[in-house]
Structure 1
């Protein structure tokens, strides 16, 4: 069948992003995108997401598989492939926290260990979005805060980070491992974005000072304040991100 007679479908676009098209169809999709700038912008954002997810997760996928995960080690010819596929799936879904948290303190509570990882995943998924980076924009801030507070069953606030050079873009509701989570997005005049990830259900957790994790290209400062866990994520140098984290902390504790 001649692919040139077939219109470009959504599955063609996703296959293009994943590099799964043959050269002829790839050329047709490129021509289609050149003629449709809005679609090209959307597809470019998907490619950026792929690049960021690879940067975040590829180092973990390259780690040796823990011995406890393959007791039938003699079946090495097949089982490692299946395990890597399973690990990759769970990483994308954000459902792993334990041994996937590279360098995590073994004495650290599981919730606290998972907080920066979940925040980094949400950051790399949504910050490249051009058309729909948030569910509710900053022009509806009062509604956004009221909605998220109701869904998280806690008083949630959107810090104002003007003094740090960032403006609120808006926010969204996210699924968490033990309940809903929220994400507030901020942007500076150059288009650099930061996200504040907020989780409740922090039962029996004491307040903590700032902690820092590097998740691929994304730095994350996180802490617990009362029943709420916070994680500020961004592709900034650690000192610069710390300055913004301090502004966030003081804003939340006014």
Structure 2
């Protein structure tokens, strides 16, 4: 069991790379639900994963959301969001909610054939950003995704002023 838990983040990266390879090459049907139905996509994937998921905004980095799909993961469903730039280059974000036993939080890098993957665990979520981009460019985009998906820590409201 210890080996399986230790290798779970590596499996996350490998599954993400395989899913990227399979679906990003499909020109006719790369996603189940298109970006024109983004809210319905996010609601559906959140319900299926049992946790709120979001599609990061990558348009400022040159990548527009084209949609997403539901996929099988190690122990339950996972979400995949797909993005594309003006030249047709695609990126996928693989989101897993079954990372309960993992405590690794740092960015990791993996390569599966021509697909580079930056992956990380954040609480119960595992994320993997995959693409055939150079490592520095993919790292820059992964940092943006991480910043957008990091939990927002609520700042306490200021204490009311004492009556005079």
Write out per-residue CA displacement over residues 35-79 of structure 1, whole angstroms, 9 at most, x where no aligned residue: xxxxxxxxxxxxxxxxxxxxxxxxxxxxxxxxxxxxxxxxxxxxx
Structure with more strand by fraction = 2
TM-score, length-scaled by structure 2: 0.87
Aligned residues: 149
The DSSP-based 3-state class of the residue aligned with 1:120 is helix
State the Cα distance separating 1:110 from its structure 2 match: 2.2
- Gaps of at least 5 residues in structure 1 are 1-105
- Gaps of at least 5 residues in structure 2 are 153-164
TM-score, length-scaled by structure 1: 0.57
State the Cα distance separating 1:179 from its structure 2 match: 0.5
Q: Who is 1:238 aligned against?
A: 135
- Say whether the 8 Å CA contact 2:5–2:101 is kept in structure 1: no
- Say whether the 8 Å CA contact 2:107–2:120 is kept in structure 1: yes
Question: Segments of 4+ in structure 1 off by > 2 A?
Answer: none
- Give me the whole-angstrom Cα distance separating, in 1, the residues matched to 2:59 and 2:34: 16
Q: Who is 1:208 aligned against?
A: 105
Q: Who is 1:152 aligned against?
A: 49
RMSD: 1.5
Q: Who is 1:199 aligned against?
A: 96
Structure with more helix by fraction = 1
Residue 219 (structure 1) aligned with residue 116 (structure 2)? yes
Higher relative contact order (CA 8 A, sep 6+): 2
The structure with more radius of gyration? 1
Q: 1:108 to 1:241 in 2, by over 3 A?
A: farther
